[in-house]
Amino acid sequence: MTAELNKGPILGIRHVQALLIFVTITSVYIGRLNVGVSVVAMTNAESTNPDFPEYDWTEAEKSYILSSFYWGYIITQFLGGYLCKLFGVKSVMFWATFASGVCSAVTPLFIGWGGWATYCGIRVLMGCAQGLIFPCIHQHLARWSPPEERNRLGALSHTGIECGNVMSMFVSGMIAKGPMGWPGISYISAGVAFASCALWFVLAANNATESRFIGEAERNYIESSLKHGQNYHKAVIPIPWRAIFTSPPFLALIVARCAESWGLSTLQAEIPAYMNGVLQMDIKDNALFSALPFLAMWIMSYVYLVLADILLTGKWLSLTAIRKTFNSMAFWLPAATLIGIGFLDVDQKTLAIVLMTLSVGFNSGSTIGSSLNSIDLSPNHASIIMGIVNTAANVVPIVTPLAVGMIVSNNGDRNQWQVVFIISSVIFFVGNCIYLAFGTAVSQPWDAEDFLQQRPLAELALPAALPEKADSKKSIS
């Protein structure tokens, strides 16, 4: 095989798989996040389309609806990692996305029958379905991405998060005010989910050897770059639980993702309340102000991607250095702006909007910084690691509002909010320090297919990371 053939085609089926992931993430995020607009439309018909039913739900009932998705979401993360190892990513992703679409489709019918409690139940079921998806995504990227392209394909596919954020905010509001009213939000979301399922069913494959559309050159390029055993795609590799849970890089990743979750939930959920109480701004009623942070996040995700590609291709930095540098930018810059926002007064509203937008925009670097790190540590167990990490990280947004509620008794008291922002900034800072100290983008010894067969039991508790110098050849993995 020639050197040219070994590089594979510039654009191929592996890029189609990344695009499918992007479309799937966008579709499920639209279904996940449209609830904010839907609840407003359902409880204030005059603000959207008065031709549809209006419900008199209390603030407590609305809060249950808004949070109920995550009650289901946190309980199936680990299950998703396990199921895709048993049944393959294609099947699990398809049925999870399809189930999420069904939940959207039946929402208007069941709300008319059971009210807010039924709406909560549907959202819990949707959360359970979507909880299976992200562990599958990381497993899919590990099976389809050559190490030198993994960062690029992973980051591109994850920009579906920001796309879903922006689309759900703009499109849902337009639908609610249109002839379809608030039920149309659910129906359109379901249609998008079913369309992504159709694309996934036709074009997706568990790995390069199973794809009907891939060429021989690209298949050889992907499979030779992954360097695995002959029966790899059909074998179920035993999971070295003890080695994983005693691995410093893995534990550092958990800390980093939990810190990110705390900081981002503060940026997205609590700053609007601060601006309303202290700065006397209701940015939730202003579509432009509400969308600006997510728009900045979407744009910055591509800026980070291009910058990472330049640094990696030019071999200016190793992948470990890229991960830590970008994660530091994603954590420490928002930490500084959070503290700054806490010192603004009612005459500095424009600066507050600018700082909030910059905070969320800079935070998008955490995708390259730490989110994709589960694939670095163990391509073979990427789904399991993602399931564990995402379970821990998604408990945090449930705890954050409770902590804020204990600190802030008066929404208009800036001193109380300053405590909230300082706590978040400290968590951002310390979480990244731990990641800097113990994190790595080097594949761990327990990733080996025969690790449990070859390593004595006594050694399983000491999964030392490979030396950092080994990163030179894996600097684009």
Beta strands in 4-53 (DSSP E): none
Q: What would the pLDDT profile of 69-104 be if each residue is shown by its tens digit?
A: 888 998 898 888 888 888 889 999 999 999 999 999
Average pLDDT over residues 100-115: 90
Evaluate whether 21 touches 154 at the Cβ level (below 8 Å): no
Q: What is the pLDDT of residue 41?
A: 81
If you ran DSSP here, which 8-state letter would residue 443 be given? P
Greater confidence, 453 or 328? 328
Q: What is the pLDDT of residue 252?
A: 96
Residue 382 CA, chain-centre distance (Å), reads 14
| Maximum CA extent, the chain | 70
Q: What domains sit in the chain, N to C, each tagged with a CATH number?
A: 7-236 (1.20.1250.20), 241-477 (1.20.1250.20)
The residue with tokens 């909560």 is: 120
* Percent of the chain predicted with pLDDT > 90: 31
Q: What is the pLDDT of residue 435?
A: 96
Geometric angle at alpha carbon 32, from 28 and 38, rounded to 5°? 130
Query: How far is 80 from 316, CA to CA, in rounded Å?
Result: 36
Structure tokens at 40: 């407003």
Q: Is residue 174 pLDDT above 90, yes or no?
A: no
* Model confidence, pTM: 0.81
Average pLDDT over residues 454-471: 46
In 3D, which of 24, 308, 319, 264 has the Cα closest to residue 159? 24
Average pLDDT over residues 157-165: 88
DSSP H/E element including 40: helix 35-43
Average pLDDT over residues 394-418: 79
Cβ neighbours for 236, distance < 8 A, ≥ 6 positions apart: 85, 86
Q: What would the pLDDT profile of 215-273 be if each residue is shown by its tens digit?
A: 888 888 888 887 665 556 666 678 889 999 999 999 999 999 999 999 888 776 666 66
Q: Is residue 113 pLDDT above 60, yes or no?
A: yes
Cβ neighbours for 97, distance < 8 A, ≥ 6 positions apart: 24, 27, 28, 129, 133, 193, 196, 197, 200
Q: What is the pLDDT of residue 98?
A: 97
- Listing DSSP states for 192-248 in one string gives HHHHHHHHHHHH--SSGGG-SS--HHHHHHHHHHH---TTTTTS-PPP-HHHHHT-H
Cβ neighbours for 7, distance < 8 A, ≥ 6 positions apart: 221
Structure tokens at 88: 């393959």
If you ran DSSP here, which 8-state letter would residue 88 be given? -
Query: How far is 94 from 199, CA to CA, in rounded Å?
Result: 10
Q: What would the pLDDT profile of 261-301 be if each residue is shown by its tens digit?
A: 998 887 766 666 676 666 666 545 555 666 778 888 888 98
- Listing DSSP states for 172-205 in one string gives HHHHHHSTTHHHHHHHHHHHHHHHHHHHHHHH--
Average pLDDT over residues 409-427: 83
Residue 157 CB-half CA count within 13 A: 27
Q: Is residue 198 pLDDT above 80, yes or no?
A: yes
